[in-house]
Amino acid sequence: MTYQSIKVVKGRGGWGAGLTLTPTDSKKIVLSVTSGGIHPVAAKIAELSGAEAVDGFTNQVPDAQVMCAVINCGGTARIGVYPRKRIPTVDVYPGEPGGPLAQFITEDIFVSAVTPNEVTLADEAAVAAAAAAPASGEVDEKRVAYEAKKAEAKAAAKSTGGFSGFVVSFGEAIGMFINTLLASGRQALKLVMSTIIPFMAYVSLLIGIVTFTGISKWIANGVQPLAGNPFGLILLGVITAIPVLSPILGPGAAIAQVVGVLMGQQIAAGALPVQYALPTLFAINGQVGCDFIPVGLSLGEAEPETVSVGVPAVLFSRLITSPVAVLIAYLASFAI
């Protein structure tokens, strides 16, 4: 099999320095994790490079065989799953480091806002530069030697015992405690600033648009007949959990956010009884997590057979459990 090196660069509004990818006999899979079959970007990468495009939503491929992963995430948990494994990641959305795994997303392993137009054959100079570039995380011998000497000095101080050993041990424990708190606070603040606040702003803007344009009334009037009775809520739960729709509605849960706010407004205005709040919540969230099933199985290092059976099994089980959850919530709502 003849393989070609390709160059993947960021698109408009994207992030990353670009990737130079070269398939080999042992690493030739382009994993498309976009919950919609083989994405055009994954197909283009496979076509130009001679690699094989595989739908990661229905197939599990060992990480050692993956040349790159193609995802569609705007900056939540999924965006950092493959960079954490040091698998080159191509995001078709204009994402950037964000979410709980943001620290693993680096320019040498990630590029975003990619369309088929940003995938081209690499020239020989680019391939040579990529091969000559030091690998990320390359060991710095001087740094290692310094850390070894520091560790030896600490061990020697501890071994002396007495007051000196106590001071060293106590200082080390306090330092670890403070550094842990600082690191946790830094990561929490970064997560809030880069992920939570932008998403809140997006949802607020979306709600403002649909309210100003009158779309909110149309959605509310369309959903109200379903939300106004238990059988309609059960039907709404079935619709949101349909295996074809649920992976599409899952990312960001924007639809559930908007419909939830609109239904909350209807309940607050007295148009709907308050006891419908709980079953409505379950009815509009039947799709939650359905787009993350293959990624979750991958994180759990599931076997290929498990993924091929597990994804449709979870999707179809959600089609059953979603209306059942709505019914249970409706019965429980009488206690509110």
Rg (CA), the chain: 25
The token pair that represents 2 in the structure block: 């003849």
Give, in order, the Cα–Cα distances in Å from 69 to each of 84, 286, 290. Answer: 12, 27, 19
- Look up 68 and say whether it is catalytic: no
CB-CB neighbours of 254 under 10 Å:
15
284 — phi, psi (to 5°)?
Answer: -90, 0
SS (H, E, C) 55-101: ECCCCCCCHHHEEEEEECCCCCHHHHHHHHCCCCEEECCCCCCCCCC
The token pair that represents 1 in the structure block: 């099999």
Instruction: Give the separation between CA 71 and CA 89, rounded to whole angstroms.
Output: 7
CB-CB neighbours of 114 under 10 Å:
26
* Amino acid symbol at 317: S
Given 51, 73, 102, 234, the catalytic residue: 73
Which residue has tokens 């002396």?
160
Instruction: Give the separation between CA 67 and CA 234, rounded to whole angstroms.
Output: 43
Length of the chain: 336
Antiparallel, parallel or unpaired: β 6-8 and 19-21: antiparallel
Instruction: Point out the residues that are catalytic.
Output: 73
